[in-house]
Amino acid sequence: MPPDWRGIDVTMLLEDGDGRLHKVQGTTPGLMTGAGQRIEVALNADIGGTRVAFPGPAKLQGVELSFRMPGDMVGIGTIDVLGVDASDSLGGDGDWHDIGWTPATDGFHWTAIRFGPAAPYKPPAGSPNRISFGFDEGQAEPIFGGGGGALFRSSTNPTEPERLPAVVGQTFLDLSGAHVGDEVAVSISGQPLTISIIGATPQFPSLDPSKPFAIVDATSLEEARQAGTGQVLTTKEWWLKVDPAAAPQVEATLRAAPIAATDVVGRLSLAKSLASDPVSLGIIGALALGALAALAFASIGFLVSATVTSSERITEFAILRALGLSTRELSGWVSLENAFLLVFGLLAGSVLGIILAWLVLPFATLTATGQAAVPAPTIVVPWAAMAPLYGAAVVLFVVTVAIVTRQVGRAGISTVLRSGDE
């Protein structure tokens, strides 16, 4: 072998504590030197002067080995993978321990793969740790230099994944003719899979219920994809739970180098942005002014109607007082009449508003593209926000009763009755 030739690339397949699969590739190709060779893959890196490591707990799910030969050589032989070690030391100079294939550790930082000698003999059947290439008919092809390399993959995941449990939409069942409990062949990103329908749902945020959809477990799907194609999808979105007081600092750190996230959305900053949006504030302000104007005009109308009605019935009240009705009883009568009108108006207005909101808002709520929102918005009645309106109605009722009672009490019985005779 040429002294500067490095022809082994090592990639570790790791599963994090959330069930996501990640591929960590060695930064330096390994040198095939012979028996007892070790290749170390660092699971940590320097980012912006900070040493970071793969988060634990972690599970080793597989190893990929890629071999390349020099341009004028051909590779034929076997290589035995003797074991996989891990070290908790950031520099890899601490204690090493054999982790096998399915460890559950608090996190490890370096992985060493030990290789045995290459020998020109046929490996025994069922030896999962033996890599062979180019023996005879029925074996793998030799590795020709200059003509590409060979990839060998060993994984704890089955090569033929089991059926994926799935919850499907009702439209899926209607269009496919399938039923709950059936197994259906599907294609996900070009990969043929079989799903087992364990349930159905009319809708699922944020999928359009008019289109067929299937919901599967992300970890099971990734394991099936990796077993079938060897590919792992990178995580496109991360959700972080942070202290609200530290949220602005976290957002600034994520936007700055070395992370430089494409988009950072914080709950507090988003709420602040929406609350200060001039378009939204203008609409809310216009609706609020309209509601206050309607409340003011309704109050004035109710008060004027009560006083005018009392003036027109002054003779009736005088006769009742002459027949023995006390001022207190007359005040109670007037209060009951106005209370009935006010309560009926409040109940009728509240019911009408709730009905209009239930009929109009779900169909008037659209996304930025003009499509109907999925799922449809749920109408929530803000009783706490409506409480001040009912309080204002009570104050209006008290003021109206006081004015009408005073108006009736100031009219002398004899004067009113004599004016009626005239």
The set of long-range contacts for 338-342, using a CB threshold of 8 Å and a minimum separation of 24, is 338/306, 338/397, 338/400, 338/401, 338/404, 339/397, 341/302, 342/302, 342/393, 342/396, 342/397
Q: pLDDT tens digits, residue range 128-139?
A: 566 766 655 455
Residue with the bigger pLDDT between 8 and 243: it is 243
Residue 193 parent element (H or E) = strand 191-201
Mean pLDDT of 31-48: 72
Full-prediction pTM beyond 0.75? Answer: no
Q: Which residues contact 255 (CB under 8 A, 6 or more apart)?
A: 261, 264
Q: How much is the mean pLDDT over the chain?
A: 75
Q: pLDDT tens digits, residue range 329-383?
A: 777 777 788 788 888 888 888 888 888 888 887 777 766 666 777 777 788 888 8
pLDDT for the residue 105: 44
d(CA 111, CA 97): 10
Would the pLDDT of 199 be above 90? yes
pLDDT for the residue 130: 67
pLDDT for the residue 121: 34
Mean pLDDT of 75-85: 73
Tell me the pLDDT band of 180, cut-offs 50, 70 and 90. very high
Strand partners for 335 = none
Residue 58 CB neighbour total at 10 angstroms: 25
